[in-house]
Structure 1
Amino acid sequence: MNELTRWIDLDGAVNVRDLGGLPTVDGGTTRFGRVLRGDNLQDLTAPDIERLLGELKLRDVIDLRSHAEVNLEGPGPLTRVPDVTIHHLTLFAEGGRYTDVEADTSRAPMSGTAEAEAREAAARIDAERVLPWQGRHEDKVAEARVVGFYSAYLRDRPDSVLAALRVLAYGDGAALVHCAAGKDRTGVVSALALSVAGVTREAIVADYVATGDRLEPLLGRLRSSATYRDDLDSRPADSHRPRPEYMEFFLDSLDAHYGGPLGWLDRSGWTPGDAAALRSRLLD
């Protein structure tokens, strides 16, 4: 695997890479130019967009951010590009109009005070889920915490997970899946896609960890946004570093409960046709 060829250097995003060139268990490799993963795309420049559309043939963007993040950040530049389809597929069980949490599960009219409180809540994100931090990483506590977040994506939004994978499977041109940092939510969807393609467990974990190579500029980018700044400033930077044991522990948990990622997908409505389409897109 040549990591140098997988990174896509852009002015407005720092954690974008191609999922091509990864080894499979049967000795093959994944194809370049089909599936990209990345961080927040809000700051893409005109040259970035020109490269993504022209050189990389980008046609679909899978935005895994919460409704609150999208509302707070506003429409990104790719939403104004007719040739790109944006698929907003949050991985959170969002119960309300304003926030990531179930703040207004009822449809009843709100009082003036409740309305004001809801609008105040709309100025925040649920940082615990948006940018999971690990705290201590020398014991099993951190691993269990991360797996709890990652498992919640599958538990709360299997519909979004399968919809994202089907965009990757059936799209025309390149597809880019992203969240805020391109690490946790994006890491889970990428790991499932690569599992369907038969990529080796070692390569899936290595791809997850690769975000750590761009961690400093990535956190710098996120700190420039009021949406994420307060949470990032309150945590040590190293608490956001992706570590191999986190993805390994998550995949091990799927092995233990479902017989592996493919077992979870099968139980959730993923079909043999879906799997064949995704493998056709991702494999040489």
Structure 2
Amino acid sequence: MRWLELEGAVNARDVGGLPTDDGGRIARRRLLRSDNLQDLTVTDIKLLVEEFDLTTVVDLRGTHEVQAEGPGPLRGVESVLHAHHSVLPEAGEATDAGAEAMLGHRRERALARYPADPVCAIYLGYLEDRPDSVVGALRSVAAARGAALVHCAAGKDRTGVVVALALSVAGTRRDAVIADYAASGNRISGILARLRASPTYAPDLAKRPDDADHTPRAETMATFLDQIDVRYGGVHSWLSEHGFDGAETDLLRAKLIES
């Protein structure tokens, strides 16, 4: 895993280099992940497009967020395709800035999915509420001509889930998937500072002001992946059930695995 030291984002990294179960590795410059891209500078864009061959941005934010934030600077780059796949129900003004805010009026139903870990319950909700978007995001990654960059607002929850699923399809060791997810905790202060400076996300964060409440826990991702095994028979089984077939699995694996 390689951190991308961007001027306009703080939670950006290349997941290339992570080990797979069969002794291989995830290829570099194939799958990138990040927090919000609204503040990217000219230097950032040059790095992403020229050095990392970025050709596809997979945006997991809700429609409200996209509209409130407006078009980011990468929208002006003709060679970069933008694919929007919101993993939240398209109702209200929910963001991923605060878990309690995300639950909103759906709190009781959401928590019932997994009461022991509310964040895991939210992640399971992505699969139940928006399987179309989760599958669509993976298809966009697999189809990217060059590098695909997956992002949301903080780059840790929605992005964490989609990237974890992509890495799992590629056969990445589970401990490495979990470690990549938890790595966002190393940048949590910067992530939250950016979000608190945004009128879109500041109100949700004000409801949960403690930085520790937003720090991703390795245990949450471990539990989430375990629950996919228990409830659906594993990542591959869940994807197959929702139309992501064997050919698409092969395409995504070929995209991500180092040859």
TM-score w.r.t. structure 2 length? 0.91
Query: In the TM superposition, what is the alpha-carbon distance from 1:38 to its structure 2 partner?
Result: 0.5
- The question of whether the paired residues in 2 share the 8 Å contact of 1:169 and 1:274 is answered with yes
Alignment partner, residue 106 of structure 2 = none
- The question of whether the paired residues in 1 share the 8 Å contact of 2:188 and 2:215 is answered with yes
Alignment partner, residue 269 of structure 1 = 243
* SS of equivalent residue, structure 1 residue 245: helix
Query: In the TM superposition, what is the alpha-carbon distance from 1:230 to its structure 2 partner?
Result: 2.0
Alignment partner, residue 179 of structure 1 = 152
Given candidates 189, 198, 212, the residue that maps to 2:185 is 212
Query: In the TM superposition, what is the alpha-carbon distance from 1:163 to its structure 2 partner?
Result: 1.1
Alignment partner, residue 115 of structure 1 = none
For 1:173, the aligned partner's letter is G
Query: In the TM superposition, what is the alpha-carbon distance from 1:126 to its structure 2 partner?
Result: 1.9
Query: In the TM superposition, what is the alpha-carbon distance from 1:187 to its structure 2 partner?
Result: 0.5
1:247 aligns with 2:243: no
1:195 aligns with 2:154: no
Matching of residues 119-158 of structure 1 within 5 Å: 125-127=93-95, 129-132=96-99, 143-158=116-131
> Which runs of 4 or more aligned residues in structure 1 lie more than 6 Å from their structure 2 counterparts after TM superposition?
none
- The question of whether the paired residues in 2 share the 8 Å contact of 1:24 and 1:199 is answered with yes
For 1:264, the aligned partner's letter is W
For 1:67, the aligned partner's letter is T
1:83 aligns with 2:79: yes
1:69 aligns with 2:80: no
For 1:227, the aligned partner's letter is T
Task: Give the Cα–Cα distance (whole angstroms) in 1 for the partners of residues 256 and 159 of structure 2.
Answer: 17
* SS of equivalent residue, structure 2 residue 150: strand
- Residue 78 and residue 143 in structure 1: after superposition, are their counterparts in 2 closer, same or farther (change >3 A)? farther
- Residue 133 and residue 208 in structure 1: after superposition, are their counterparts in 2 closer, same or farther (change >3 A)? farther
Query: In the TM superposition, what is the alpha-carbon distance from 1:143 to its structure 2 partner?
Result: 4.5
1:227 aligns with 2:200: yes
Query: In the TM superposition, what is the alpha-carbon distance from 1:133 to its structure 2 partner?
Result: 5.5
For 2:99, the aligned partner's letter is P
Task: Give the Cα–Cα distance (whole angstroms) in 2 for the partners of residues 10 and 133 of structure 1.
Answer: 29
Task: Give the Cα–Cα distance (whole angstroms) in 2 for the partners of residues 153 and 234 of structure 1.
Answer: 22
For 1:248, the aligned partner's letter is A
Given candidates 11, 15, 33, the residue that maps to 2:11 is 15
- The question of whether the paired residues in 2 share the 8 Å contact of 1:37 and 1:182 is answered with yes
Task: Give the Cα–Cα distance (whole angstroms) in 2 for the partners of residues 23 and 199 of structure 1.
Answer: 6
Query: In the TM superposition, what is the alpha-carbon distance from 1:167 to its structure 2 partner?
Result: 1.2
The Cα RMSD (Å) is: 1.5
Given candidates 228, 240, 258, the residue that maps to 2:232 is 258
Query: In the TM superposition, what is the alpha-carbon distance from 1:36 to its structure 2 partner?
Result: 0.3
Task: Give the Cα–Cα distance (whole angstroms) in 2 for the partners of residues 209 and 184 of structure 1.
Answer: 10
Task: Give the Cα–Cα distance (whole angstroms) in 1 for the partners of residues 116 and 32 of structure 2.
Answer: 26
For 1:191, the aligned partner's letter is A
Task: Give the Cα–Cα distance (whole angstroms) in 2 for the partners of residues 70 and 265 of structure 1.
Answer: 26
Task: Give the Cα–Cα distance (whole angstroms) in 2 for the partners of residues 20 and 263 of structure 1.
Answer: 25
Task: Give the Cα–Cα distance (whole angstroms) in 2 for the partners of residues 29 and 44 of structure 1.
Answer: 29
Alignment partner, residue 36 of structure 1 = 32
Query: In the TM superposition, what is the alpha-carbon distance from 1:93 to its structure 2 partner?
Result: 2.0
TM-score w.r.t. structure 1 length? 0.83
